Amino acid sequence: MKKLDESLLGHIPPFRKLERSQIREVLDLAEPRRFDAGAAVFEEGMPAERFYLLLDGHIRVVRTTEGGDQVIALHIVAGQLFGIAAAIGRVTYPATAMTVDDCLVLSWSTGQWSNFIAKYDGFATESYKVVGERMGEMNNRLVEMATQQVEQRVARAVLRLINQSGKKTDGGIEIDFPITRQNLSDMTGTTLHTVSRLMSAWEKNGLVKSTRRHIVVTDAHGLVVLSEKSG
């Protein structure tokens, strides 16, 4: 990791409150690795032997239900920690981390987690902030599943994605990684048929444009209105 300049990570949690020399210490303990698109960085239930920082690419966090169905719990974007089972007191990974596209990650032995937390105050503060934000997002998702209509849930899922990874284009705001209608159904607890029907209707109404693996939101305000519609 000698070739990776500390300044490149200075704005990224959990590094942004650390001194340059401290970032160097942490990086010297890191193991870099590239993953091709569609690879599992780790799988649900595996011993949590390492934790990770995503430097480039996108990660899809997938949970498996008791019935064997897969649910997309979260998307991780570049600059975020993942696989931080130690932060929630687990010794196994609670979900599978799948690469959406080609990814570059850094990882550390889980044994280093407690060392980093104890030694670097900024690391602890920023890391547990991430944990809190993800728990909040998951709680919001549970409330949505229990109280909202399918169209609301799907609209909110798309809005979350453009807020997290939206890229402005001439045609609107594009979700900046491959996303399929099946992915949306896995995120919202509905069927592929229902998502396809909604997306087709939204396209006719000028809200989105979509291909097999990409979605562009052409009317974000209209999607917000749908996401807040009651009944």
pLDDT digits 0-9 by tens, 212-231 = 788 999 999 999 999 887 65
Mean pLDDT of the chain: 88
Query: Collapsing DSSP states into helix, strand and coil, what is residue 33?
Result: strand
Q: What is the mean pLDDT of residues 45-54?
A: 95
Right CATH for 149-228 from 1.10.10.10, 3.20.20.220, 2.60.40.10, 1.10.460.10: 1.10.10.10
| CATH topology classification for 6-145 | Jelly Rolls (2.60.120)
Q: 3-state secondary structure string, 94-130?
A: CCEEEECCCEEEEEEECHHHHHHHHHCHHHHHHHHHH
pLDDT at 145: 67
CATH 2.60.120.10 maps onto the chain at 6-145
Q: Most distant CA pair in the chain: distance in Å?
A: 57
7 pLDDT exceeds 80? no
Q: What pLDDT, in 10s, does the model give residues 71-117?
A: 888 889 888 899 999 888 899 999 999 999 999 999 999 999 999 98
pLDDT at 79: 87
CATH 1.10.10.10 maps onto the chain at 149-228
Query: How does DSSP classify residue 73?
Result: E
Rg (CA), the chain: 19
Q: What pLDDT, in 10s, does the model give residues 130-188?
A: 777 777 777 777 667 666 788 998 999 999 889 888 899 988 999 988 899 999 998 88
> What is the chain's length?
231
Of the CA atoms within 13 Å of residue 2, those in its CB half-sphere come to 0
224: which 2 tokens? Answer: 């917000």
20 pLDDT exceeds 60? yes
% of the chain beyond a pLDDT of 90: 48
